[in-house]
Chain A
């Protein structure tokens, strides 16, 4: 089989007209599908902000009970600053320009690798921008209230919080390792092939 034969087969394959379909239904479906996807993204963002607001409200409710201790007060200020940091980090990651599918393949793959790197960095750094500040803030608040009289209770509380924080870090690193790292490796391989 010659190259010309292959070319003939290719042309015969691609020259077929599309089947008769309800074009209005197709356009409607595509429009709805895009709207749905935008709606899902917006809803996810709002859910994250709502979680931050819920935490803020929770601490505001606790405030009258803990303000007698200056350590707890520092803890509350710390947590408030942390919430601002979370909002900024999430907003920054949400502002990233979406990938442009009509770039050249080389550019597209490069953009996708950069996107993967950002996701991996965000998941790996979760300990710095999410877990550690929360851990410190929570311990300051609890410590101010419980120490020096309830050392054992405070120790147990700190241990539970530590395990929970460790779990969050582990889950995020696992997501980076299982999902984004293989994806990135494939893209790098593809980029080298190109």
Chain B
């Protein structure tokens, strides 16, 4: 009997390969976002980001760069996640596979990463997201598409965040 793949099955396979491609490319980024927004519950948030990326795949039109699209989904999930904590905890836990990804990851222990984490913790959730995109060298246009504000406003924000970081770093140096 000839096997013919149905349209739905073919779409499913496309989604699956796209998802795995995104996972390979953005895995570290999603982990970092989860850590920046949920220090103690980073694994839970990481799972949620993965789930939201998976669920949002049908809306990925390919007309925006995958990086920008992933940032949108991941940041939206992360920024509103703690606020939904109660609801999330009541949900069914995601079993083995995703847990495995989270638990096998060894956190970066170098000073730079630790410093970055502590500086990020001092910023507001919105500024944290903008800083991550700036560090990731997204253009102002891309960042504006993620946040949903004008490029001009973002330039001012980024300047202010850099100023804040310099002040925090100076405080740390003075403490030492």
* Interface residues, chain A, with chain B CB atoms under 8 Å away: 1, 3, 5-19, 21-23, 25-30, 33-34, 36, 100-109, 112, 179, 182-183, 186-187, 190, 193-194
Please give, as numbers and ranges, the residues of chain A lying within 8 Å of B132 by CB-CB distance: 10
Given the complex of chains A and B, what is the CA–CA distance between A28 and B98 in angstroms? 11
* Interface residues, chain B, with chain A CB atoms under 8 Å away: 16, 19-20, 23-24, 27-29, 31-32, 50-52, 54-56, 59-60, 69, 72-73, 75-77, 79-80, 83-84, 86, 92, 94-98, 100-101, 104-105, 108, 110, 112-113, 115-116, 119, 124-127, 129, 132, 135-137, 145-149, 162, 165-166, 169, 172
Is A102's CB under 8 angstroms from B108's CB? no
Kindly count the residue-residue contacts between A and B in the assembled complex, taking CB atoms under 8 Å apart: 157
Given the complex of chains A and B, what is the CA–CA distance between A40 and B73 in angstroms? 23
Please give, as numbers and ranges, the residues of chain A lying within 8 Å of B129 by CB-CB distance: 105
Is B55's CB under 8 angstroms from A29's CB? no
Is A190's CB under 8 angstroms from B79's CB? yes
A contact patch SS: helix
Shortest B172–chain A CB gap in Å is 8
Nearest CB to that of A3 among chain B residues? B162
Is B101's CB under 8 angstroms from A18's CB? yes
Nearest CB to that of B64 among chain A residues? A102
Is A23's CB under 8 angstroms from B20's CB? yes
Q: Contacting A193 at CB < 8 Å: which of B56, B110, B127?
A: B127
Please give, as numbers and ranges, the residues of chain B lying within 8 Å of A187 by CB-CB distance: 80, 83
Please give, as numbers and ranges, the residues of chain A lying within 8 Å of B59 by CB-CB distance: 100, 102
Please give, as numbers and ranges, the residues of chain B lying within 8 Å of A8 by CB-CB distance: 112
Is A12's CB under 8 angstroms from B96's CB? no
Shortest B54–chain A CB gap in Å is 5
Is A27's CB under 8 angstroms from B145's CB? no
Is A102's CB under 8 angstroms from B69's CB? yes
Which residue, of B75, B92, B97, B166, has the highest number of chain A Cβ atoms within 10 A? B97
Is A107's CB under 8 angstroms from B73's CB? no
Nearest CB to that of B87 among chain A residues? A179
Is A21's CB under 8 angstroms from B104's CB? yes
Is B28's CB under 8 angstroms from A13's CB? yes
Which residue, of A10, A25, A190, has the highest number of chain B Cβ atoms within 10 A? A10
Given the complex of chains A and B, what is the CA–CA distance between A17 and B94 in angstroms? 22
